[in-house]
Structure 1
Amino acid sequence: MASAYAESSPLISSDHVKAAVTEFARGFNHSYYLPLHLAILKGDWKSTRAFLDNDPSALTAKVTVNGRTALHVAAVGTQWKIVEKLMKNMPTNILTELDFMGCTCLHYVAMSEKVNDEKKLVAKNTSVTQVTDFKGFTPLIYSLTSTRHRDMVWYLLTNTTDERPGCPFSGPSASQLVALLTASGFHDITMHLLQRYPGLATISDSNGSIILNVLSKLPSHFPSGNTYVPPTIFFYKHAPVELELLPNDPHSGKIISNLLQHFFAHWKSIRDAKLTHLSAVRLTEFVFSQASAMNDYQFYESFVSADIIFNATSSGIVEILSICFQFFPELVWTHIPNEGYLIQIAIKNRQEKVIRLLSEMPIICKLLVLAIDESNNTTSHLAARVCSNNKSTLGAALQVERDSQWLQEVEKLNHPFHKVVKNKNGKTAREVFIEEHKPMVEEGNNWIRDRSNGCMLVATLIATITFAAAITVPGGNNQEKGIPIFLLHKKFTVFIVSDAIAFYCSMASLMNLLPETKGPINEEGIQTELVIRLKLGLYYLLIALVATTIAFAAALSMLLEKRFKFSIVYISSLACLPLHYATSVLYPNLRRIKLLQSIAAFV
């Protein structure tokens, strides 16, 4: 009965399904098919074959109250070996049979990662990819709603056509297909689909463009939404990526890249990330180009909705904004109710990259900066507020200081008169800042002292160890002259220099981290001198830790090189771990300083 429904129409009401299930259940012999059902779920092929040999009709019969055949049961139970064996003897027309959930066997296989079983099903009956469930969804959509396995999606996409009854690329389910495919991050596959069916690029709903709406909520899928430390940046820039899909290999690339991918798992993740980023940018360009070709102002005014602009601005996706302004320059003046103009949204959400993009249009940027909202808030007032989306993981004190620096940079962009402008509550930007940051100030001052005490303990330990290591050097001293035995050894020079650096840096860290109960307090309530001392102490301590690691590696390699010839290679490799961590700690701060400097340079 379910197959008859599928032939007449892909859309079946729930009442019809309930009626069919009730009618079927009245005459269904549950106890007869229960042994077959349990044998399949357990993966017991011997018992399954014995039952089918005794009753060959059970191969095509509905063996559950949900109207599932033996093949359905094996697929739902993820018994892939039984699926393969049943499929060999299964008539081709049974592969398109729907259960009372509206699914074929391929619908369930599409929710797994068994691409080989999927290919065998399609090879036995090529029309199975076109069969839809009661909602009009093909197996392609099912593959996107479950595991989102790339190879599974690619194979189904290339083996599904836009034919009746489902019409997956032009029918009612096309919008859901595009949304799911974009959300899955397979932007290169989406581009392949849009090139075949360009009309899908301009599908929209009440929220505007479906594709742009999804992309604007995925900042990590764009280059601007990711920050890499220097070692990773090198690999990211030099990772070769093929944006054009080949029929049999969606991950096609160069031989060297494939070899690196085989030996270094991290290389593959970097390459996949770069592919996602470049494909997302290319997809965005294609969607905007298709929209601009419509030559209908009312269309693209609703197509690029305020929600899309807001999401891209608040998330800092400058690629979407940059491409948007290339095709529709007037959208830079977009004003969103209760949020303001783009620069106001960027300031509230601490999006330096968006401000830098707007600063490339100097006159427009200056006009937007001078805008005042309905509550008489200037852009400085907006910068003074606490940003809930940009909390620092380094502590409340550093967050307050960072917010203060942000306010100072925005004040440089703003007109000097706006420093004394009061909002509807009668407060200036600085007064707003002090009021909103009060809870963080007390927490910040306590945090500084707690971290200082903890770091002092580590610095004291390093100073003690390095002082003792300088006196009792590796290998000992000459008994007659008291000179170190390894004095002329090259590795000894590395050891003693690193040890000295570690000792002096740990002492410098101690001097900066000495507890100070009092210090000059700025207008926000944070003890500025303590913040500066804590930062210097942390940097000195970081250098001391790295130098201690190098000194230890040099000493160990001197002692072991005669017995273990390649000890220096393994020891040096392990010593690189603290160096990598030090880089990952320092680089984000340096990057943020550069961004703030670029904003200041605009003035």
Structure 2
Amino acid sequence: MGVLATMGGFVKRVRVSAVEKLGRFSYSFCYKTTGFGMYHESYRPLLEAAMNNDWQSARVFIDNDPGSVKASITVCGRTALHIAAGSAHSEFVLNLIEIMPIEALELKDRYDGNTALHLAVIAGLEDAVKVMVKKHKKLIRICNNEGLNPLLNAAIYVSRKNEEIIRFLCDEMQDEPTIFQGHSGAHLICSITHAALYELATTLIDRHPSLATAQEDDGNSTALYAIAEKDLSIPTAYAKSILSFLTYYGLCEITKKPSIFLKVLFFFDHNSRGFHARQLQSIVVLELVELIFKQFKKMNGEDKYQFFFGSNFIKTAVKNGSIDIVRMCISTYPDQLWIPQERRNIFEIAVKNRQEKIFDYLYEHMNADEKILTTRTVESNGGNILHVAAKIAPPSRLNIYSSPVAQIQSEIIWFKKVKNRVPRALRNMRNNADEIPREVFTREHKDLVKKAEAYMIRTAESCQVVAALVATVAFAAAITLPGGTFSDVTDATKTGKPVLLQKQSFLVFMVADALALFSSTTAILLFLSIYIGNHTERNFQLALPRTLKRGLRSLILSVLSVVIAFSMALSMILEDRYRWAPYLMFAVAAFTFYRSLNCPLKLIFELDGIEKPLYWTDIKRSPTIRALSDPSPVPWRLAVYWEDCLRFLSSIQFRYSHIYGEGNAVADLLGKCGAITWSQWWNEPPYFIGNRVKCPNILKTWFKWTSKN
């Protein structure tokens, strides 16, 4: 077949996209009809019809000249079927196949030696590919000038669009085992894995186990290496989503087909949608990795050694944070901690690339003798692992955070964390440049500290203006009360008192206005302290970020309080004429307010996550995930999750009792709430809500139906 002989040269080619490849097909030299191709001028109408998807004109031309259906109508030897397939005209191709003789389907062009099936595979014409193979199965074995059959050619341009085509071709070539072995098999499985078609890769390895350890001729590219190149970690924003919290406590399960509840949640929380997608992908990848490692265990010691140390996949996995691969590699072959050909250890790679989860996992699972790796000289200039941590992070890791403040804070906390894991005797060790790790850190992060300082001052100035404006409005609203005051009345005790004092809305107005005034003045003072404070490197660890968070929270609270106060004032003035207007305005204002807070809220969450990650995002804790073999959606019933919610309440009460003691007021209050809830509401909580709470009839009906189902 010539595949194995030519795969070595092929792998070194740059993999261009299908769009670029198809773009080359439309170059003018393929369609020239002058000079050498003068005799092609008579086929110009058929060429234009094939390019423009005009089957009616093409059919008329073919009826007048039946031989044109298999004639070369371009200089590069392409037939009308080549042109239509390369232009992705599926209907035209299907119509043309019906009237073409079988031998005409085998015709190759003079450009790459491709048949029409090669081009249809690249263009993603699934129906056309199936019809061609059904009509003439020998087509799947015909190779082009590079020795590639349609399946291997499809692997170059593999994507979600042509996944079914590759799956179909793999099924049709089951009787060709050489395609799934050696370099050709490695190229196929690596291309599929690079395209993130993990389910298809799992199916192929299950059918052909040799694909699990197949290596391309460079000795490095394997299916495991392709997985290691992917960053499969769950982003911080996704890990802090509502769905992450719910799955951690077992209140929700992740399935291929999300329930109605999840669909509603995805509409309001895009991070939950991303978390759901990443979790599904992680499950499939984990199944694939486990299948690959099953084949590794069947290898003998020498082959296993050559496979592990002949490839850089463990280094790539650590660099990209593929914790599952690292776990399995270390458990299967513990010597992977050290990379002899580079005289480096993966502990150093994890520190350099800020892979905290892998760093923690390696350190916690190291033996006493393995922890000596943390004391070795790891740099060419004589530095230790703390010198590596002192260097600024790679841009790909640093740009995870949107602001320079979060970036410098994460760098400082990371340096402190590594420092605590290094023996005290090495913390002040000097390298060949006579620098201790702290001096290296200061030099490397000098520019980042300046950027963070400028960002803090600019943010403080902008927020101070807004806070001052809110304080002015809140103070003015407190003086000019809605409805005015009594001024000319016979009862002297009422003089100067608000006219609307007896209304409940007035109390809400005053509380909201006072809260707006106090929080805005607090924000002014906090931002002022940032503006005139000392912006040293050490202060960026906790003091300055905390002040910025508190200032932003106070400012957000003040703006929200002003909106509430305005809505209450409007409701008192309008009285019974337009009772819905204030609430509608408040709802619109609240939604607009939430959308406009995307940037400050993101900054607050970033700083919170750096200082103290949420406990449910810990790597040691795994969410509740339903088996993917069950595609049915999980029905959401309030009664089903009511008990879990009460357990969650009890867990919070236990945390407060454990931290602050049994006599803590918050813990006692939570305990009483839990006891009341258990005793009175447990029998039929949804039915209770549906009958006693004032709400629209549709909600009552839903609550009652939920309790019964």
Which TM-score tier does this pair reach, normalised by the shorter chain? Answer: 0.7 to 0.9
Secondary structure at the counterpart of residue 359 of structure 1: helix
Structure 1 residue 572 displacement after superposition: 6.3
Question: For the structure 1 residues 156 and 315, does the alpha-carbon distance in structure 2 shift closer, same or farther, using more than 3 Å as the test?
Answer: closer
31, 39, 45: which one aligns with 1:29: 39
Contact 2:408 2:449 in 1 (8 A): yes
223, 227, 242: which one aligns with 1:211: 223
The one-letter code sitting in structure 1 at the alignment partner of 2:115 is: T
Q: What whole-Å deviation, never above 9, does each CA across 1:139-184 have from its counterpart, x for those lacking one?
A: 344444437125x313432343446889432364222211110110
Contact 1:335 1:342 in 2 (8 A): no
**Structure 1 Cα separation of the partners of residues 274 and 328 of structure 2:** 27
**Structure 1 Cα separation of the partners of residues 124 and 132 of structure 2:** 14
In structure 2, what is the equivalent of residue 79 of structure 1?
Answer: 89
**Structure 2 Cα separation of the partners of residues 263 and 396 of structure 1:** 31
**Structure 1 Cα separation of the partners of residues 267 and 436 of structure 2:** 58
Structure 1 residue 258 displacement after superposition: 10
In structure 1, what is the equivalent of residue 361 of structure 2?
Answer: 357
In structure 1, what is the equivalent of residue 283 of structure 2?
Answer: 278
In structure 1, what is the equivalent of residue 73 of structure 2?
Answer: 63
Once the two structures are superposed, the pairs formed by residues 279-294 of structure 1 within 5 Å of their partners are 279-294=284-299
Structure 1 residue 60 displacement after superposition: 1.9
488, 509, 512: which one aligns with 2:504: 488
In structure 2, what is the equivalent of residue 343 of structure 1?
Answer: 347
Q: What whole-Å deviation, never above 9, does each CA across 1:223-248 have from its counterpart, x for those lacking one?
A: 47984332252577745346xxxxxx
In structure 2, what is the equivalent of residue 386 of structure 1?
Answer: 392
In structure 2, what is the equivalent of residue 249 of structure 1?
Answer: none
Secondary structure at the counterpart of residue 137 of structure 1: coil
The one-letter code sitting in structure 2 at the alignment partner of 1:210 is: T
Secondary structure at the counterpart of residue 179 of structure 2: coil
Secondary structure at the counterpart of residue 147 of structure 2: coil
Once the two structures are superposed, the pairs formed by residues 58-207 of structure 1 within 5 Å of their partners are 58-100=68-110, 101-146=112-157, 148-150=159-161, 152-160=162-170, 161-162=172-173, 167-170=178-181, 172-205=183-216, 206-207=218-219
391, 403, 413: which one aligns with 2:421: 413
Q: What whole-Å deviation, never above 9, does each CA across 1:52-111 have from its counterpart, x for those lacking one?
A: 121111112221122222121112223333223223322344334322222232322323
Contact 2:2 2:147 in 1 (8 A): no
Secondary structure at the counterpart of residue 68 of structure 1: coil
Structure 1 residue 385 displacement after superposition: 1.4
Secondary structure at the counterpart of residue 285 of structure 2: helix
1:537 has 2:551 as partner: yes
Structure 1 residue 509 displacement after superposition: 1.6
Overall identity of the aligned pairs, in %: 26
Question: For the structure 1 residues 165 and 411, does the alpha-carbon distance in structure 2 shift closer, same or farther, using more than 3 Å as the test?
Answer: closer
1:295 has 2:300 as partner: yes
314, 325, 332: which one aligns with 1:327: 332
**Structure 2 Cα separation of the partners of residues 527 and 325 of structure 1:** 34
Structure 1 residue 462 displacement after superposition: 3.3
1:313 has 2:318 as partner: yes
The one-letter code sitting in structure 2 at the alignment partner of 1:135 is: E
**Structure 2 Cα separation of the partners of residues 91 and 258 of structure 1:** 53
Contact 2:570 2:582 in 1 (8 A): no
Question: For the structure 1 residues 63 and 347, does the alpha-carbon distance in structure 2 shift closer, same or farther, using more than 3 Å as the test?
Answer: same
In structure 2, what is the equivalent of residue 248 of structure 1?
Answer: none
Question: For the structure 1 residues 573 and 50, does the alpha-carbon distance in structure 2 shift closer, same or farther, using more than 3 Å as the test?
Answer: same
**Structure 1 Cα separation of the partners of residues 187 and 590 of structure 2:** 53
Question: For the structure 1 residues 37 and 260, does the alpha-carbon distance in structure 2 shift closer, same or farther, using more than 3 Å as the test?
Answer: farther
1:433 has 2:445 as partner: no
**Structure 1 Cα separation of the partners of residues 507 and 125 of structure 2:** 58
**Structure 1 Cα separation of the partners of residues 614 and 341 of structure 2:** 26
Residue ranges of structure 2 left out of the alignment (5+ in a row): 11-30, 488-496, 621-709
**Structure 2 Cα separation of the partners of residues 575 and 552 of structure 1:** 14
**Structure 1 Cα separation of the partners of residues 88 and 307 of structure 2:** 45
Structure 1 residue 454 displacement after superposition: 1.8
Contact 1:202 1:209 in 2 (8 A): no
In structure 2, what is the equivalent of residue 514 of structure 1?
Answer: 528
The one-letter code sitting in structure 1 at the alignment partner of 2:609 is: R
Contact 1:122 1:128 in 2 (8 A): yes
Structure 1 residue 461 displacement after superposition: 3.2
**Structure 2 Cα separation of the partners of residues 93 and 546 of structure 1:** 75
**Structure 1 Cα separation of the partners of residues 263 and 101 of structure 2:** 44
Secondary structure at the counterpart of residue 208 of structure 1: coil
Structure 1 residue 510 displacement after superposition: 1.2
**Structure 2 Cα separation of the partners of residues 134 and 476 of structure 1:** 88
Between 1 and 2, higher relative CO (CA 8 Å, sep ≥ 6) is seen in: 2
Contact 1:372 1:379 in 2 (8 A): yes
The one-letter code sitting in structure 2 at the alignment partner of 1:391 is: L
Question: For the structure 1 residues 586 and 289, does the alpha-carbon distance in structure 2 shift closer, same or farther, using more than 3 Å as the test?
Answer: farther
Contact 1:520 1:529 in 2 (8 A): no
25, 38, 43: which one aligns with 2:53: 43
In structure 1, what is the equivalent of residue 607 of structure 2?
Answer: 589
Structure 1 residue 185 displacement after superposition: 0.5
**Structure 1 Cα separation of the partners of residues 325 and 605 of structure 2:** 26
Q: What whole-Å deviation, never above 9, does each CA across 1:10-52 have from its counterpart, x for those lacking one?
A: 99x99xxxxxx99x99576121111211122123333222211
**Structure 2 Cα separation of the partners of residues 504 and 261 of structure 1:** 35
May I ask how many residue pairs the two structures share in their alignment? 571
**Structure 1 Cα separation of the partners of residues 317 and 268 of structure 2:** 34
Question: For the structure 1 residues 537 and 301, does the alpha-carbon distance in structure 2 shift closer, same or farther, using more than 3 Å as the test?
Answer: farther
Structure 1 residue 199 displacement after superposition: 0.4
Contact 2:121 2:165 in 1 (8 A): no
Question: For the structure 1 residues 540 and 567, does the alpha-carbon distance in structure 2 shift closer, same or farther, using more than 3 Å as the test?
Answer: closer
Question: For the structure 1 residues 563 and 188, does the alpha-carbon distance in structure 2 shift closer, same or farther, using more than 3 Å as the test?
Answer: same
**Structure 1 Cα separation of the partners of residues 439 and 553 of structure 2:** 33
Once the two structures are superposed, the pairs formed by residues 560-599 of structure 1 within 5 Å of their partners are 561-562=579-580, 577=595, 584-594=602-612
Question: For the structure 1 residues 156 and 412, does the alpha-carbon distance in structure 2 shift closer, same or farther, using more than 3 Å as the test?
Answer: closer
Structure 1 residue 419 displacement after superposition: 2.6
Structure 1 residue 353 displacement after superposition: 0.7
In structure 2, what is the equivalent of residue 399 of structure 1?
Answer: 407
**Structure 2 Cα separation of the partners of residues 257 and 121 of structure 1:** 45
Secondary structure at the counterpart of residue 422 of structure 1: coil
Give the aligned CA root-mean-square deviation in angstroms.
4.4
**Structure 2 Cα separation of the partners of residues 183 and 176 of structure 1:** 10
**Structure 1 Cα separation of the partners of residues 75 and 246 of structure 2:** 55
The one-letter code sitting in structure 2 at the alignment partner of 1:170 is: Q
Contact 2:470 2:517 in 1 (8 A): yes
Contact 2:120 2:129 in 1 (8 A): yes
1:461 has 2:469 as partner: yes
Residue ranges of structure 1 left out of the alignment (5+ in a row): 15-20, 243-252
Structure 1 residue 292 displacement after superposition: 2.1
Contact 1:456 1:513 in 2 (8 A): yes
